[in-house]
């Protein structure tokens, strides 16, 4: 199995922009033959935040826009696997 580990510095607090770039990088890795693509932790928001309250507006549901964007790339790549850490909303929306 070919694995790709993507190094990437996400734009802080810009998840839409980050998703587009991550999808592009996932597609490139799959096109190069990767069957498993691993992205950084907090890949859509950046890692360092002063507190949870500052990050909360950028959190998203588990099956939200990041999941959908990366799932679409994985599917078009013949069923590759993508691992991505992101700020996930709790079930109660917090």
- What is the per-residue pLDDT across 15-32, written as a single tens digit (0 to 9) for each? 999 999 999 999 999 999
- Mean pLDDT, the chain, rounded, equals 92
Q: How confident is the model at residue 47 (pLDDT cuts 50, 70, 90)?
A: confident
Per-residue pLDDT tens for 66-80?
999 999 999 987 789
Q: What is the pLDDT of residue 91?
A: 79
Q: How confident is the model at residue 93 (pLDDT cuts 50, 70, 90)?
A: low
Flag whether the pTM goes above 0.75: yes
Q: How many residues does the chain have?
A: 94
Q: What is the pLDDT of residue 94?
A: 62
């Amino acid at each position: 199995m070919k694995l790709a580990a993507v190094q990437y510095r996400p734009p802080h607090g810009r998840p839409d922009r980050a998703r587009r770039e991550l999808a592009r990088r996932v597609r490139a890795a799959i096109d190069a033959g990767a069957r498993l693509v691993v992205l950084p932790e907090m890949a859509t928001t950046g890692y360092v935040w002063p507190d949870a309250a500052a990050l909360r507006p950028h959190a998203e549901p588990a099956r939200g826009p990041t999941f959908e964007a990366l799932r679409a790339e994985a599917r078009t790549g013949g069923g590759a696997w993508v691992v991505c850490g992101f700020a996930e909303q709790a079930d109660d929306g917090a």
